[in-house]
Amino acid sequence: MDKLLEQIKKGTVWAFPGGIHPPQQKSLSNSASITRLPLPDKLIVALKQHIGANGKLLVEKGQHVLKGQPLTAPAANWSVPVHAPSSGVVTDIAPMPSAHPSALPELSVIIEPDGKDEWVALNKNKSPAELSHDELINIIHQAGISGMGGAGFPTYVKADTKQPIEFLIVNAVECEPYITADDVLMREHAKEVIQGIEIMQQLLNPTLCIVGIEDNKPEAIAAMKQAAEHNSKIIIQTVPTIYPSGGEKQLIKLLTNREVPSIGIPADIGILVHNTGTLFAVQQAVYEGKPLIERIVTVTGNTIHKPGNVWALLGTEIKHLLDCQGFSPVPQQSVVMGGPMMGFTLPTVRIGIVKTTNCILAPDHKELAEPGPEKACIRCSACADACPASLLPQQLQWFAKSKEYDKLQEHNLFDCIECGACAYVCPSEIPLVQYYRIAKVEIKEQQADKIKADRAKERFDARKERLDREQEERQNRHKRKPAAKSADEKQKVAEALARVKNKSDNGDEKSAVAAAIARAKAKKLGDQSAELEPDNSEVAKERALRKEQARKYKEQKSQTDESAATAPVDDKKSAVAAAIARAKAKKAAQALDNAEQAATEEPQNDAPVDDKKSAVAAAIARAKAKKAAQTLDNAEQATNEEPQTDAPVDDKKAAVAAAIARAKAKKAAKALEDAEQTVSEEPQSDTPADDKKAAVAAAIARAKSKKAAKALEDAEQSVSEEPQTDAPVDDKKAAVAAAIARAKAKKAAKALEEAEQTVSEEPQSAAPVDNKKAAVAAAIARAKAKKAAKALEDTEQTQPQELQVDSAAPKSAESNTDDSSVLINADKPKSADDKKKAAVAAAIARAKAKKLQKEGNNQS
């Protein structure tokens, strides 16, 4: 670094590749001082005169503005305002032709000057050293200063760079022919230019500032050296006259021997470059408070009678400049904005001056001949030798014509500075620069479209993600979130899980279901660290245990079947069936009791009754009723003595016990039916009787006999139809049901015995009885008994079968066996044929019993 500084201070200059030496033609305009033009009739101020975004419009049509008043305000990055060049009225805000080869319309403010040229209030600063960094940047920004020698890059962005700057280079080379604006500026305003350099030094704090000036400007070199004598950090460096030494990268190579990387900027290597016109505008903004509203423009060419440099207000029409300098057009006259190498021909002279306009060239046909027709490339390599960027112009031209944009970028098309040296030396007169400009525009458009597509895709993805998130939120909106578990609860869960795990490690038998529940609880509580791993060994152990139990159960069942013939009867199902029978018997006794009470209260008719026959009938009825009660009592006692067991019931034993119970019930029903039939067949006599109470007792006995028979028949039928099952019965429930049934049966037997005793103890009367009244009373008693029987039957049908055990199971073969056959064959095992015969016999027995019952009812 020290060696480089020493070389720079000694005046060492390094060469850059390529370059040409076109005729300078600078003497036409640099011999006269800068003049100021009169106010034009209108000013067309374009809103965009720099690289970056447009500002926000602050004025409207018809508004009066002052000189230096902002027309726009910065609205985005790299945005600088524009100001009114003179006081006047805004006559229109409309698109106007732009200062571009295409002359595409751009939004512009059209001002009609009022001739007063009245300034806005200016904020002058005599001591910029006292201003802070941010204050200086803000002044430069609000003054609307952008690069005035090239592309129009906003100056405040360069001045506010965060990268360290070693060299501040001032581009005062002005290498292009005909242009002398910077030359005369340095001659007449060298002090102001140096003050602008010092302001940038204050902002950037560089190690050294180098002012590069071509050796064809001796007067400007002398003026700048004199103005910079007091500042040892400013070096005025003379460079050889060669085009394009004024290019940014080429000038850096000349003065520092450093090269800017491809698609890079000078700040990447610690260097910053400013134009002399830009530094003068900075000095005016900081010291005088003036915004950028005018600049020096060179007006030259053989068709201009008074060529020279003028102060032109921004927005002044080019026609006004030409007219003021004595323009005499020739046939097919062309007017160029810029120099002959990098400038472009204007389609009209009704275009306003912008911040980057440094020259207006109006040549005749000898100065700037019309280009001839394009010829084929002869591969002379003159363009490659002249290129200051070391590119391959011929190859780039082929790729540009075939629109191979990828290859253009691979060959560094954007390193081209469009200096025109290749086209200047081309013997085939190929407009190489025009091909490059078109290709650059198309590539930029393609990249812009890609950026738009990428942004649209990002917006689409973001919208889709937002819609999915909103849908998920809607779905989960009504779901209750689990309450957060406290540290104590988590600790308790962890301890419980640890205990379970320790038991498992010690070999304790653990159920797979319990392990699953523990894992589910651990997962629900969110304690992932304590979650148990699946224990397949325990599941396998449980499966093996179940298989062993099944095998033992099959062996036990087979042994039970072999000893079923000799084993004592132990039937839980028979206990249930007997309980049902006793319950129905009790219901029948209750109904008969009600019928007896009703018959006793009936009025007696006046018909005479044979007292002797009535007494005989009553005695017979009492005897048979007593016999039936005794039978029922024996059946109940036998049922009560049934042993209860908690072990599973054997199917064969249950069938035997059920058959015994049905036989006893059927026997009791038969006895009561016989008693009823005997009472109902007693002959009625028309002779008078002396015993009215005997007739009543006889009627009550008949009614009770009929009702008991009906109830016992229904009980027997219900018992015989009970479904048998092979599944084990709940022992405790069966024992309770049997106990209840025994109690109810005992109560019914007692009620029937009391009824019998009441009938037998009825006193006989010797008084004559009215036969007609006795017959009526008997009929009424029978009717009420039938009514009670009907009510009992309806009650039995609606009574819930809470004592049925596993009613969904299929009936066993023993449930259809006849009672008598079961009693006979209870002590020996039955074969399949025996079971079938027993079922047939049971069906025949039930049919006969129903037939006898029907005949008894008819006789009654």
**Two tokens at 525?**
């509580």
Q: Is residue 602 over pLDDT 50?
A: no
CB-based contacts of 247: which residues, under 8 Å, 6+ apart? 388, 417, 419
pLDDT for residue 638 is more than 60? no
Binding-site annotation: residue ranges for [4Fe-4S] cluster = 377, 380, 383, 387, 416, 419, 422, 426
Q: Is the predicted pLDDT of residue 237 greater than 90, yes or no?
A: yes
> Among 683, 843, 860, which residue's Cα sits nearest to residue 781?
860
Residue-level pLDDT at 307:
95
Which residue ranges make up the annotated binding site? Answer: 377, 380, 383, 387, 416, 419, 422, 426
Phi, psi of 266 (to 5 degrees): -60, -30
Q: What is the mean pLDDT of residues 51-65?
A: 92
Question: Which among 355-364, 486-495, 542-551 has the top mean pLDDT?
Answer: 355-364
CA distance 704 to 628: 11
The yes-or-no verdict on residue 500 having pLDDT over 70 is yes
Burial class of 512 by CB neighbour count within 10 A (0 to 12, 13 to 18, 19+): middle
pLDDT of residue 379: 93
**Mean pLDDT of all residues in 244-267:** 91
3-state secondary structure 89-114: EEEEEEEEECCCCCCCEEEEEEEEEC
**pLDDT score at 725:** 39
Mean local confidence (pLDDT), 227-248: 93
What pLDDT score does 847 carry?
64
**Distance in angstroms (rounded) separating the CA atoms of residues 227 and 191:** 5
CB 168 within 8 A of CB 206: yes
Query: What pLDDT score does 205 carry?
Result: 93
Question: pLDDT tens digits, residue range 324-338?
Answer: 999 999 998 999 999
Name residue 244's amino acid.
Answer: P
Higher pLDDT, residue 120 or 620: 120
**Encoded tokens for 253:** 């190579």
Question: What is the pLDDT, as a whole number, of residue 546?
Answer: 84
| Residue 9: other Cβ atoms inside 10 A | 13
Say what the pLDDT of residue 663 is: 63
Residue 285's identity, in one-letter code, is: A
Confidence band, pLDDT 50/70/90 cuts, at residue 560: confident
pLDDT tens-digit profile of 152-178?
A: 899 999 999 888 999 999 999 999 999
Q: Tens digits of per-residue pLDDT, 406-453? A: 999 999 999 999 999 999 999 999 999 999 999 999 999 999 999 999
The predicted pLDDT at position 420 comes to 92
| Most trustworthy range by pLDDT among 537-541, 651-655, 831-835, 837-841 | 537-541
- Alpha-carbon distances, residue 786 vs 617, 684, 859 (angstroms): 20, 21, 14
User: Can you give the pLDDT at residue 649?
Assistant: 41
What is the share, in percent, of the chain residues with pLDDT greater than 90? 46
pLDDT confidence of 643, banded at 50, 70, 90?
A: very low
Lowest-confidence segment of 421-430, 493-502, 824-833 by average pLDDT = 824-833
CA dist 719 and 665 (Å) reads: 9
Pick the most confident of 132-146, 466-480, 482-496, 568-582. 132-146
pLDDT at 78 over 90: no
* Mean pLDDT on 550-554: 84
Mean pLDDT of 614-629: 56
> Comparing C-alpha atoms, which of 372, 784, 745 is closest to residue 581?
745
Q: Which residue has the higher pLDDT, 267 or 796?
A: 267
Looking at every residue in the chain, the average pLDDT score rounds to 76
Give the pLDDT of residue 54: 86
| Least confident among 240-254, 465-479, 648-662 | 648-662
The yes-or-no verdict on residue 52 having pLDDT over 90 is no
Between CA 741 and CA 851 the distance in angstroms is: 29
Q: How far apart are CA 629 and CA 626, in angstroms?
A: 5
Q: What is the rounded (10 degree) CA torsion for 245, 251, 255, 256? A: -140
pLDDT digits (tens, 9 = 90+) for 710-764: 654 554 454 444 434 343 444 455 555 555 656 555 665 565 555 445 444 443 4
Confidence at residue 371, expressed as pLDDT on a 0 to 100 scale: 81
Q: What is the mean pLDDT of residues 674-681?
A: 49
Spell out the long-range contacts of 389-398 with Cβ–Cβ below 8 A and sequence spacing 24 or more: 389/18, 389/249, 389/415, 389/416, 389/417, 390/17, 390/18, 391/415, 391/416, 393/422, 393/432, 396/432, 396/435, 396/436, 396/439, 397/430, 397/432, 397/435, 397/436
- Judged on CB neighbours under 10 Å (0-12, 13-18, 19+), 551 is exposed
pLDDT single digits (tens) 686-702:
333 344 555 555 566 56
Beta-carbon contacts of 330 under 8 Å, excluding residues fewer than 6 positions away, are: 303, 364, 365
pLDDT at position 15: 93
> Predicted confidence band at 593 (pLDDT cuts at 50, 70, 90)?
low
Of 113-122, 671-680, 744-753, least confident by mean pLDDT is: 671-680
Q: How many CA within 13 A on the CB side of residue 124? A: 2
**Single-letter amino acid code for the residue at 98:** S
- Contact (CB, 8 A) for 628 and 790: no
Q: Which residue has the tokens 């009867």?
A: 569
Token couple for 385: 């030798």
pLDDT confidence tier of residue 805, bands split at 50, 70 and 90: very low
CA separation, residue 637 to residues 334, 409, 744 (Å): 142, 116, 12
pLDDT at 26: 93
Burial bucket for residue 60 (CB in 10 Å: 0-12, 13-18, 19+): exposed
The residue-averaged pLDDT of 23-41 equals 92
Q: Which amino acid is at 290?
A: K
Give the Cα separation of 9 and 667 in Å (integer).
145
CA dist 767 and 344 (Å) reads: 158
User: Looking at per-residue confidence, does 777 or 767 come out higher?
Assistant: 777
- Decide: residue 143, CB within 10 A, 0-12 exposed, 13-18 middle, 19+ buried: buried
Measured at the CA of 147, the angle between CA 437 and CA 15, to 5 degrees, comes to: 70
Instruction: Inform me whether the pLDDT recorded for 614 exceeds 90.
Output: no
User: Does 191 have pLDDT greater than 90?
Assistant: yes
For the ranges 440-444, 471-475, 627-631, the lowest mean pLDDT is seen at: 627-631
Supply the pLDDT for residue 694: 53
- Residue 549 banded pLDDT, cuts 50, 70, 90: confident
As to burial, measured by CB atoms within 10 angstroms (0-12 exposed, 13-18 middle, 19+ buried), residue 44 is: buried
Region of poorest pLDDT, from 197-201, 499-503, 572-576: 572-576
The reported pLDDT for the residue numbered 157 is 92
Q: How far apart are CA 409 and CA 432, in angstroms?
A: 16
In contact, 75 and 54? CB cutoff 8 Å: yes
pLDDT band at 556 (very low <50, low <70, confident <90, very high): confident
pLDDT-derived band at 818 (thresholds 50, 70, 90) equals very low
Best CA proximity match to 731, nearest among 610, 619, 581, 573: 573
Domain boundaries, the chain: 487-562, 572-813
Look at residue 810 and tell me whether its pLDDT is greater than 50.
no
Q: What pLDDT is recorded for position 4? A: 87
pTM of the shown model: 0.57
Query: Tokens standing for 771?
Result: 């036969």
- Whose tokens are 């389609």? That residue is 347
Token pair recorded at residue 404: 């191979």
* pLDDT exceeds 70 at position 343: yes
- 134, pLDDT greater than 50: yes
For residue 167, the surrounding DSSP H or E stretch is strand 167-171
Distance of CA 170 to the CA centre of its chain: 58
**Predicted local distance difference test score (pLDDT) of residue 487:** 81
Rounded distance, CA 108 to CA 45, Å? Answer: 5
pLDDT computed for residue 715 by the predictor = 47
